[in-house]
Amino acid sequence: MIDRLFLKLRVRDLLSAEEEAVLRETIVELAEVPAKKTVLCRGEPLHRSILLIDGLMCRYKDLRNGRRQISALHVPGDFLDLHGFTLKHLDHDVMSLSPCRIAYAEHSRLVRLTEEFPHLTRLLWFTTNLDAAIHREWELSLGQRTGVARAAHLFCELYQRLRIVGLVQGQSYAFPLNQSELGECLGMTPVHTNRVLRELRERRLATFKGGLVVIEDLRGLEALAEFDAAYLYLDSTPR
């Protein structure tokens, strides 16, 4: 059930059998969430954190003119709001993009974890810092990359993130959102998103259709995006 979390962690560090057991005891109570459902609202007090088991979720913020920025995408094995463990409430909303399965970790149990398992604590701390590293790369995209490069970069990032949890088949992966929502990740309108996708298609780099991304030319896509996976910390290092 939480095996994708272990895959994600073991790409980055050693995880002992005891630590694995502790996580299995901490993360419990499976639940299902339909697509397009807000699972967490900004400001509400939190007493547990959520691990994504299956499906795709996002965090987002809105402006009053109705424009929305998706600030993060989450794939299976990611915590949606582990940062909420120390923040106590969120500064953003969280919603499902596809039907999802989730599991819960009570904050009271996480407190005990920080008291008894310092290495595991640092590893969980690491995962929130990894989220922040992805935020920084998105800031670079939103601030400086062109529309096509932004889209190309996102496709490269998800290729790597999904690959390590076993969710890439050949050169394609499920990416269940529509062009409007993709535009909300990329800081552009649905119309322009459509044009950007057409350019990637015509340049034979990647296609996005019906919630499926097909990478036709990974090297070309990475070159266009100036993608360097270093910010995903895919190296195994003691934390």
Partner DNA sequence: CGTTATATTGAAGTGCGTCAAAAAGTGTGG
Partner DNA sequence: CCACACTTTTTGACGCACTTCAATATAACG
C-beta atoms surrounding 143 within 10 Å:
8
190 sits near a second copy (criterion: CB under 8 A): no
Among the listed residues 98, 121, 179, 207, the single contact to a second copy using CB under 8 A: 121
- Non-local (6+) Cβ contacts of 73 within 8 A are 56, 57, 58, 97, 158, 185
Stretch that binds a second copy, among 18-26, 61-69, 161-169, 212-220 (CB under 8 A): 61-69
> Which of 163, 150, 237 has its CA nearest to residue 189?
150
172 sits near a second copy (criterion: CB under 8 A): no
- For 38, 95, 202, 221, the CA distances from 84, given in Å and listed in that order, are 16, 15, 42, 34
From the CB of 97, what's the least distance to a second copy, in Å? 17
Q: What are phi and psi of 102, to 5 degrees?
A: -135, 165
From the CB of 205, what's the least distance to DNA, in Å? 15
Within residues 119-178, the interface with DNA by CB under 7 A covers 146-148, 178
From the CB of 99, what's the least distance to a second copy, in Å? 25
Stretch that binds a second copy, among 15-23, 85-93, 195-203, 208-216 (CB under 8 A): 85-93
